[in-house]
Chains A and B, each alone.
Chain A
Amino acid sequence: MPVLVFIDQSEGQVKKASLEALTYGAKLAEQLGTHAEGVLLGKVTEDPSLLGKYGVKKIHHVDHDELTHLDSQVYTKVIAEVATSMGAKLIIFSNNADGKTIAPRLSVKLKAALVTGAIALPETGDGFMVRKNVFSGKAFANISLKTDIKIIALNPNAYKIVSGEGTAEVVSFAAQIESPKVKVTQTDKITGSVPLSEAERVVSAGRGLKGPENWGMIEELAEELNAALACSRPVADTNWRPHHEHVGQTGLAIAPNLYIAIGISGAIQHLAGVNRSKVIVVINKDAEAPFFKAADYGIVGDAFEIVPKLTAAIKNKKANG
């Protein structure tokens, strides 16, 4: 009974979060002595068979104009049909915006237990247990899934993409497609930058920067690191920076490999959005800033002096190895 992975695309591009889900699904299939297949809805620009390098053997492609944008009712019906036709007992989503929209519906439709925000492969020796983040990343919970069919939504950046050799067999799946009730009229993408939720490195700044005019050096550091930009809540609330850059309890929760916090004191609500980062660097002139307690590396000092020096040092390191 194969594992089924939902492959999420936007404007014809398969999302990075889905490559993580594919790798995870393939690994889980191996653990259970079966194989993984994918379900892809809508048109994609690249040949889907290439996704085989992430470990999936077969891709069910439903190529239909009405599937260009997500409508959770339409998507849920199609995915349920694919899952039922192949007898999938395990369905993997990324716990991104689309996964969060579809997986709960599918859970009801297929009477399948759902765990969202998984951070590791399940333990399947005795029962079926998945570990997830709870309390804004301040703790983990071990959840037992008790139904025959199970759904896991994997947190973005929680599982490393592994690619190897191999192509997937692409089969076109004929499904009855209803007209979507949710009609997308406009898509606005911030071009030219790494999406914050998918970024492996993030440079973030707070009120310590004193004003929006001082963000130039932050942008330069981010560019040098190929990092996404983020900010603290007061900075977004005062419109120094756009709301979509706000990370924290009420903003975006992120889990990059590297999070550099500049001029952010580290209030508990901010930490809730970034505490899943693998490495945290804090630059703050106040040695007593609570953020230092949650940091791996820190510099106590004036950001206006340190940040340009840091950018130069990274540039230098890249040039000289």
Chain B
Amino acid sequence: MKILVCISKTPDTTAKIAFTDNNTKFATAGVQWIINPYDEWYALIRAIEIKEKDSSASITLVNVGGVDAEPIIRKALALGGDEAIRISHDPQESYDTAVQISAIAKDGGFDLILTGRETIDYLGSSVGGMLSEMLDLPYVAMATKLELTGKTATVTREIEGGVEICEVELPVVISCQKGMAEARIPNMRGIMAARTKPLKVVEPIAVEAMTSTLSFELPPPKAGVKLVDADNVEELVRLLHDEAKVI
């Protein structure tokens, strides 16, 4: 069982969101970087759980990013990845990322390719789907559960107002979200071992971009909360009806 887990570097969930260069670039000063939570807590940890049950399984991590992504790659190795590949490139769009990863995945013989549901910065939720089309593999998005029986994956995915359970033969691409696994923290043994695990750096391939980000904007600040007295809930109902017009 060969598992490929795609990991992305994102700003910490509490990072201040601001932009520089005339609102064309994310302001990285002082930002803490983490493994995208969906990639880590759900995709990677589920892969580790699978490996714990099946000792023949191996986990390869892939990241498209600069040398500044190496700390998060080492953390993923400390959690339980076996080896990592960093494609040395600053991707500008999901398509670019997917092309780079597909080049690794094409000849890798992976049974299972896991991604997070989306990255918490650009909210694309696209890399998994694009990758599956490039590799001509089935794709299940937004999975909340994954069980393996031999070469069959049983996957639960979220749909509007419920869940759908499906079966698919490996190899398959799956994007993961909450429910898949419980978050863990790396232990000291993992951290020590991660230092010597292989991290291969490869060159990117040239991609013609299909989109470009022209600018960012912050939402206008809220006007401020209108407080209503606890003894006067009728006033709140009136405001929601007459002013906000939502009830």
Contact = CB atoms under 8 A, between A and B. Distances in A.
Interface of A: 10, 15, 17, 69, 71-73, 76, 95-98, 100-109, 111-117, 129, 132-136, 138-147, 181-190, 193-198, 201, 225, 243-244, 246, 249-251, 257-258, 268-269, 272, 275, 278-279, 281-282, 292-302, 305-306, 309-310, 313-314, 316-317
B63 interface: no
A100 B216 CA distance: 23
A142 B237 contact: no
B198 interface: no
A135 B17 contact: yes
A135 B225 contact: no
B214 A306 contact: no
Contacts, number: 272
Contacts of B177: 250
A117 B234 CA distance: 37
B214 A143 contact: yes
Interface in B153-201: 154, 157-169, 177-179
Contacts of A115: 211
Given A100-B125, A250-B41, A141 B240 contact: no
B44 to A, nearest CB: 14
A116 B126 CA distance: 8
In order of increasing CB-CB distance, the 9 nearest A-B pairs are: A104-B129, A195-B161, A301-B230, A189-B162, A113-B210, A108-B133, A105-B133, A258-B246, A104-B126
Nearest to A115: B211
Given A116-B123, A146-B209, A104 B227 contact: no
A187 B17 CA distance: 39
B140 A182 contact: yes
B139 to A, nearest CB: 5
Nearest to B134: A108
A299 B230 contact: yes
B143 to A, nearest CB: 10
